[in-house]
Structure 1
Amino acid sequence: MSAPMISLQGLSGTTVFDQSPARAKSGGCASSSCGSSAKPHEMDSAVWEKIKDHPCFSEEAHHYFARMHVAVAPACNIQCNYCNRKYDCANESRPGVVSERLTPDQALRKVIGVANEVPQLSVLGIAGPGDACYDWKNTKATFQRVAKEIADIKLCISTNGLALPDRVAELAEMNVDHVTITINMVDPRIGAKIYPWIFYDNRRYTGVEAATILHERQMSGLEMLTARGILTKINSVMIPGVNDEHLIEVNKWVKERGAFLHNVMPLISDPAHGTHYGLSGQRGPKAMELKALQDRLEGGAKLMRHCRQCRADAVGLLGEDRGQEFTLDRLPDKVTYDASKRETYRAVVARERGDRLAAKSEALGMVKTAGSGKSLLVAVATKGGGRINEHFGHAKEFQVYEASPKGISFVGHRKVEQYCLGGRAEDKSLDGVISTLEGVDIVLCARIGNCPEDRLKEGGIRATEAYGYDYIETAIGALYAAEFGSEPLAATA
């Protein structure tokens, strides 16, 4: 009898979990309680309960759970040199961009519509396109409406922090236990290069004075959230030549004030976006420059490396955006929440998590047994679920892992232009993919054609489909052991 396949209609059409022993390589699990076994041993149980289904606060959770943002807060109280809030734009994937702004009532209708169709949904966030704490009336009304209809959804906001201290008490009252603050500096002289102005206490400030006020308010808000037990993620934009070295100091400051995660993300700089940095020629960091800075920050505040710099109306798994499927014109006028799909999906994920944890433990053992002092950088094509389940030519991003004597760790993602569209392959796109994969040793994917495989090899990158549909860590563990242990590397299928 063949092994059972569990399928749920989800983010990529059908999300399939293969329960075959040959793939899972674990003892299996008979109950949904296995979800709790994925908790890191060193983590407090109360904290784990808060983050285990939050894709932005847990790297492990982002393989299984989705977020959505509702664009109900268009007003903003600061100007950033890297930001241009665009409305009615479906072609750019970056913060501050939306296709439609919503009222709280429209947002509720959209959240229910998404929750009924996307069983992976676990988090509702408000990230603008302005500032959620400044445009507070709309933010608060939206959270109140949604919490009344979908009691188990996590509520999350992103803010620049200027108005945050005024909202902490209400956030706590509404059980908002995840807040993201964008903090790019702790030295106002550097801040003055990033923020042209702020609007505070009914007055506009500029220069170092503006940055000083912003800095003081950000630190105060972070300390207040920590005191109330609300988890905070700090976003910092890495701007080469402006704050890249300074972010080491930022990391120290936020750690001292109780930040749960620090997310250092690359500046997105393109003249077409109309931002000051884009128009002035300020470049963003290269992938390996970003990794080098993140590596230097290890040992400070815990790093988040799986951020995708989402739009203010994003829907779906991180790295995937289904927002255009759920615009208001595509939703019924009246929607009623149905919890059945989300409940069924969570039961499946609980079992899958237990299996993957066992497989990951085995893979880590393989890496340590190899006894090598070397590292291996591996790019993975995946649709989610922690498996190698995407065709090379269909990938819009690659998740990058590093195997070393320390273990197997997720170190970031590389966005690429899809190489194969409608059955046609584009050489120019492949050139871009190869360039983006700079520094990578091996690419793992479900399938790859001879041509792209040969082109990658010419660029010094190996590729294999031999581990298609395996757990990511299982494949990387086997590769590392074969590369640096006694057995030869698995041949490309």
Structure 2
Amino acid sequence: MMMRPVTEHKGCSASAKTGQASCGSAADQGKLPTEIWEKVKNHPCYSEDAHHYYARMHVAVAPACNIQCNYCNRKYDCANESRPGVVSEKLTPEQAVRKVIAVATTIPQMTVLGIAGPGDALANPEKTFKTFELVTKAAPDIKLCLSTNGLALPDYVDTIVKAKIDHVTITINTIDPEIGAKIYPWIFFNHKRHTGVEAARILAHRQLQGLEMLSNRGILCKINSVMIPNINDEHLIQVNKAVTSRGAFLHNIMPLISAPEHGTAFGLKGQRGPTTQELKAVQDACEGQISMMRHCRQCRADAVGLLGDDRSAEFTTEQVMKMEVRYDLEMRKAYQKRMENKRLSKVAVGQKELTETCGEMSGITLLVAVATKGSELINEHFGHAKEFLVYELSTSGPKFIGPRRVEGYCQGGYGEEDRLSAIMREIGDCHAVFVAKIGGCPKSNLIKAGIEPIDQFAHEFIEKSMIAWFRSYLGKVKRGEIQHVQRGKDEPRFGDRISVA
């Protein structure tokens, strides 16, 4: 399979100064061309920084699917379940646009509308493109996104361009038909069901063909890949190379969700998902010419709100029909301008700390966890956190590693010891955890485990606080007040088993 040269402006190159991707974690334009920056600066999925400020929503107008995946079961629904493909109710295009207006009025930082199922957007083309048409007329400032498995993608590239859809996500788990046969039982293509290696070969060809066609038309493409241990984990490096060479903008490698109660084929046969360390290792191995998305929350197909803060339960069809909605474009613009000013303030506050830290000479890198409710602030109580954001700190600055979900430790005023143990396992490779507040019991247990609880930066900006603490940490090491111990060295690492060459 031939690969064309990488299209220079498509990928997110790393900064020579910080080693960070210019669109993955930076709050400013960096080296991105202006036309690309305008597309991603307030897109919570395409910009790691933007997801702290801007919201997205998915409308479930596409129930049918043209492939079967061993990790998918669209029949399951639960208010607390966040797997892709899960929805509480399906919508018509007309119901969807009313819901969009209701959400955009209530949540003015909602900037992106996506269609991600619960089946495949392009297996339901009439409903999908009718919804986009209605939304464009009613809310012209909202960005349009489409997620697809890619099987039908080459047939709809012209329609996507005509609909002014700037962002497309394609799920590509493998480019090897032998591996694909272990992931996809069947596909339905050209009025015929295909199975096994033949089905996987057709799917991979159509996915890469569609990606290249979109890239050549200036559409930003994000690639989703589900990491399945002992099936496609090592192979994902080859997937990364293939999608990069065809102009993909962002690569999101996600962990397999395979609990038996979800009723998926993988879950029922005991296929495990990757550990957080395994996931990080393959993401690190793939990072290079293309930026890795590390802030994914693997959203439901009817998700609403900020990533990590789903508010879909507030916007059922029954509730939306009762709401008085009026789309106020000027109000939305004013609100989002305030959001941008807030982001700029954060950048200015952290720049002095980063400049001073960059002057340090140290090869020390370490991980820290942060409890936050959003807005890039350390503003969550340790016991109330349902996820921790993990960052890697070095003298080049902080690098976002990803979220780690946990069950809240505090339950009705008391702590669950089993949950505390589970939380400590999730952040056990971290040197410190930043919180707004923490109780005495978890604090002492964290200290015993070698994890420093830090609450002196409560309600301050995450990046500024991490950099200040890290500079202080380096000073203590330099003065001999503490001895740096590298955490997680004894844990098995995916990267130890692979070659990045």
Asked whether the two chains share a fold, i.e. TM above 0.5, the reply is: yes
**Alignment match of 1:403 (pick from 393, 403, 410):** 393
Letter of the structure 2 residue corresponding to residue 485 of structure 1: G
1:376, 1:480 within 8 Å by CA — same for their partners in 2? Answer: no
**Alignment match of 1:270 (pick from 247, 259, 274):** 259
| 1:36-55 CA distance string (max 9 Å, x none) | x9433211111000000100
1:239, 1:267 within 8 Å by CA — same for their partners in 2? Answer: yes
1:47-446 aligned at under 5 Å gives the runs 47-86=36-75, 88-333=77-322, 335-339=325-329, 341-446=331-436
Aligned partners of 1:423, 1:447: CA distance in 2, in Å? Answer: 14
List gaps (5 residues or longer) in structure 1.
Answer: 1-36
RMSD, aligned α-carbons:
1.5
| 1:398-430 CA distance string (max 9 Å, x none) | 111111133211111101111123333222221
2:27, 2:50 within 8 Å by CA — same for their partners in 1? Answer: no
Aligned partners of 1:387, 1:40: CA distance in 2, in Å? Answer: 22
Aligned partners of 1:119, 1:463: CA distance in 2, in Å? Answer: 35
Deviation at 1:354, TM superposition (A): 1.2
Aligned partners of 2:414, 2:327: CA distance in 1, in Å? Answer: 41
Q: Are residues 1:459 and 2:423 paired?
A: no
Letter of the structure 1 residue corresponding to residue 75 of structure 2: K
Aligned partners of 2:305, 2:412: CA distance in 1, in Å? Answer: 23
Q: Are residues 1:447 and 2:447 paired?
A: no
1:95, 1:311 within 8 Å by CA — same for their partners in 2? Answer: yes
Aligned partners of 2:428, 2:85: CA distance in 1, in Å? Answer: 29
1:251, 1:300 within 8 Å by CA — same for their partners in 2? Answer: no
2:225, 2:253 within 8 Å by CA — same for their partners in 1? Answer: yes
TM-score calculated relative to the size of structure 2:
0.88
Aligned length: 453
Aligned partners of 1:413, 1:186: CA distance in 2, in Å? Answer: 28
Letter of the structure 2 residue corresponding to residue 465 of structure 1: D
Q: Are residues 1:471 and 2:461 paired?
A: yes
Aligned to 1:470, the other structure's residue is in SS state coil
1:87, 1:100 within 8 Å by CA — same for their partners in 2? Answer: no
Aligned partners of 1:97, 1:476: CA distance in 2, in Å? Answer: 36
Aligned partners of 2:287, 2:62: CA distance in 1, in Å? Answer: 34
Aligned partners of 1:206, 1:363: CA distance in 2, in Å? Answer: 56
Deviation at 1:88, TM superposition (A): 4.5
2:105, 2:325 within 8 Å by CA — same for their partners in 1? Answer: no
Aligned partners of 1:342, 1:308: CA distance in 2, in Å? Answer: 25
Report the equivalent of 2:474.
484
Aligned partners of 1:64, 1:400: CA distance in 2, in Å? Answer: 18
Report the equivalent of 1:3.
none
Letter of the structure 1 residue corresponding to residue 391 of structure 2: Y
- Closer, same or farther: CA 290–309 of 1 in aligned 2, 3 Å: same
Aligned partners of 2:173, 2:80: CA distance in 1, in Å? Answer: 27
Aligned partners of 1:406, 1:91: CA distance in 2, in Å? Answer: 38
| 1:314-354 CA distance string (max 9 Å, x none) | 01111110101111121235633233542232121121111
- Closer, same or farther: CA 413–88 of 1 in aligned 2, 3 Å: closer
Aligned partners of 2:295, 2:442: CA distance in 1, in Å? Answer: 26
| 1:451-477 CA distance string (max 9 Å, x none) | 111122222211111111111111111
Letter of the structure 1 residue corresponding to residue 70 of structure 2: N
Report the equivalent of 1:16.
none
Aligned partners of 1:267, 1:458: CA distance in 2, in Å? Answer: 32
Aligned partners of 2:385, 2:376: CA distance in 1, in Å? Answer: 15
Aligned partners of 1:462, 1:340: CA distance in 2, in Å? Answer: 46
Q: Percent identity?
A: 58
1:363, 1:476 within 8 Å by CA — same for their partners in 2? Answer: no
1:388, 1:445 within 8 Å by CA — same for their partners in 2? Answer: yes
Aligned partners of 1:444, 1:38: CA distance in 2, in Å? Answer: 21
Aligned to 1:370, the other structure's residue is in SS state coil
Aligned to 1:223, the other structure's residue is in SS state helix
